[in-house]
A and B are shown apart, each in its own frame.
Chain A
């Protein structure tokens, strides 16, 4: 992992890769993240940078890998998945977050989006299945509950270097 991280840095900084920060644009060239529609959110969630520029240090990189590895508990994975899906960072998944999530899944570009009616129907179904207290948003515990019943989550939410 250290090797992969240091490859992202320009040559002169490779010596102290432990303390350097890699800018977001470099991180996004990693093959594992390149094809991922949630790449921006992942960088935002795992980055501990104070300037808000979503750059990642080696520790952040390790953080990210450990959460996406096989040995992370489903608790941790669902916690971070919640944060990744929470596009407006308000602590709950409301309709707008879900809409952005579905658009990420179906791909960029106009022709790959669902129509408004379909989106409404889909969000309605999702909320029906997961919103236990019927307040129109999904909070962390509801999300973790619905993830615990989802059989695909463990196998899809992982990255192998």
Chain B
């Protein structure tokens, strides 16, 4: 039966139409035997041509030759055939064909030229060749952030800083009007930023540079500088407070849209299919080998990592089957253990948050004590919150990866859960810092203080204070990254290469941990997003910071790191970076929203002096519009519009969800049908051969 079953397909399957078409396609592609004989080649070409009219009917709109999987010699013949065919077409169609061809060519060349303008193209290519596409995706991500920050900087600069500077210096015949004093309590408006006057020690400048006080506080770096109400360029009136607020919203929206656009690809795939695409075996086996690798050592490592990955996956599958067979008693034990460990995790987190809170409060209380002239101690106090945050960011992940071993999850889930916890720690730390700052700022004991709405004695210009904290965080982050590279990586490499004693060799070179590095820069980017409202020139600092970090990381990678034993895949890592960045952005909305809409803006500095909160400038502007437009805007914001709008959006969403579900079901049915068809085919063939034999 084995041979008959094998023989039958050979006879009958070869006569089936589907097999014939596959054979034709293979011949057209020049199968290994077919290539040698020229007649076969022309048969292939004829098949290719025959497909052309089949597909397009009358209009011979064949695909460009480059899309056919043929060898060059055969493509030339195909192109000659196509050229010959063109002569039979009418003049109009001929012109259309040739013009579309030349247009495609021009577009292709323009694209190629543009790619030469791409920043760091050569560097990223060389990294790709040596370390594979996983690490390359980290550096592409870094490049993306440099561009994003640069665009945000241009936005804020051109709409906020530039008009201020132009009108203050009277360039282009412009002038400005200061904010009219309204009937606010006079004590709220007292703000004397202590710019450096007279002779000061050199280290004061250094201290100011590092902590944003002193001479930096009165520059356009911080919110307090923008005191202009409106700038006049001949007769045009430029409303600066409105521009400030709108530029903030604009850069947030721009970041959101750009990130969503970039993450579109990875998202589309996972919406249609149920299985986790990145973990499927086919993806690992068929797309597993990275053809970019040129270095034999890297290839060796890739082999080992692939073997390790496949073995772990298979083991995980076996583990899953074992888990499904767990008894009730074991399940109870494991769940109670997990709950206990989660409680420990929450305790660790609360410990971090509390220490950050105390450090911030301490730092704020002591840095306002001007009699403290000891340079180092003052700097230390200023940087205390940043140091505590960095320490927490370093210790917490170690604790988490230690604890998760006891929770008995599958390895892939372990990694994901640890990662999620680390992300949460990093982003929540910033939130706690801001929260503790606000509690300090809004702490009001006296009646006079309540009239202003914030603690006017300590923080006459609280937005500049917050801006300074963000500035300090960013500078400190940058210093730490440089310091770790200089003082940890290079000595380690020197030690490993020159000292051959056992413990040092066992430590070995460090791997390039992608997730840690990515979390680092996402932390920095979240700070930038939050801080830009309080310090409009912060994106420029961020751009320069990431620019330098690119080169630092690249040098560190090339010289001190070994390729990771378990590399992350390129596609899943791209998606992961962008998702975490999105989480950071959305978390940045919260503090900004609260500062803009809830906390009263400082009356002593800044463009929003005459308003209660920063948001109040928008209703104010709307009141200045013509009544018709006002009514329209009021209508849009009212409930009568919002509720039906919301319901319509819900309906549309349900429609698309239902459509997706229906498509999924159809796909499943078609797959089952295919399986059935194939079985039917084999069955019928067997029956025919049996019938033939009798």
Contact = CB atoms under 8 A, between A and B. Distances in A.
Interface of A: 31-32, 34-38, 44-46, 48, 50, 59-60, 62-63, 66-68, 71-73, 75-76, 79-81, 83, 85, 89, 91, 98, 101-102, 104-107, 112, 114, 118, 121-122, 125-126, 129-130, 132-135, 139-140, 143, 146-147, 149-153, 155-160
A24 B285 CA distance: 26
Interface string B232-276: 000000000000000000000000000000000110010001010
Contacts of A63: 71-72
Nearest to A151: B571
B287 to A, nearest CB: 4
A104 B307 CA distance: 10
Contact of B292 (A50, A59, A91, A159): A159
A160 B129 contact: yes
Interface in B14-46: 22, 25-26, 29-32, 35-36
Interface in B291-333: 291-296, 298-300, 303-304, 306-307, 310-311, 314, 317
In the A-B complex, list the 8 residue pairs whose CB atoms are closest, starting with the nearest. A107-B303, A133-B678, A35-B299, A151-B571, A106-B307, A153-B287, A152-B287, A79-B69
B159 interface: no
A66 B540 CA distance: 41
B84 interface: no
B72 A156 contact: no
B423 to A, nearest CB: 22
Given A157-B291, A159-B292, 13 more contacts: A36-B289, A48-B35, A59-B73, A71-B108, A72-B66, A76-B68, A107-B300, A112-B304, A114-B311, A129-B275, A139-B22, A160-B125, A160-B128
Interface stretch (B206-214, B503-511, B669-677): B669-677
B674 A132 contact: yes
A73 B287 contact: no
A76 B69 CA distance: 5
B295 A60 contact: no
Given A48-B71, A50-B36, A36 B299 contact: yes
A143 B677 CA distance: 19
A157 B278 CA distance: 16
Nearest to B115: A70
A133 B294 contact: no
Given A114-B310, A151-B266, A159-B291, A34 B296 contact: yes
A107 B303 CA distance: 5
A79 B298 CA distance: 27
B72 A81 contact: no
A72 B69 CA distance: 10
Interface of B: 22, 25-26, 29-32, 35-36, 66-69, 71-73, 108, 125, 128-129, 133, 265-266, 269, 273, 275, 277-278, 280-283, 285-296, 298-300, 303-304, 306-307, 310-311, 314, 317, 569-572, 671, 674-675, 677-679, 682
- Taking chain B's interface residues, is the majority helix, strand, or loop, or is none over half, making it mixed? helix
A157 B291 CA distance: 6
A68 to B, nearest CB: 7
Nearest to A135: B678
B285 A158 contact: no
B289 A156 contact: yes
Given A36-B299, A150-B280, A155 B67 contact: no
A105 B303 contact: yes
29 contacts: A34-B296, A35-B294, A35-B298, A37-B289, A46-B71, A48-B30, A63-B72, A73-B67, A76-B67, A89-B31, A98-B285, A102-B310, A104-B289, A105-B306, A107-B300, A107-B304, A114-B310, A125-B317, A129-B275, A132-B675, A135-B682, A140-B26, A143-B286, A146-B286, A149-B269, A150-B277, A156-B570, A158-B291, A160-B129
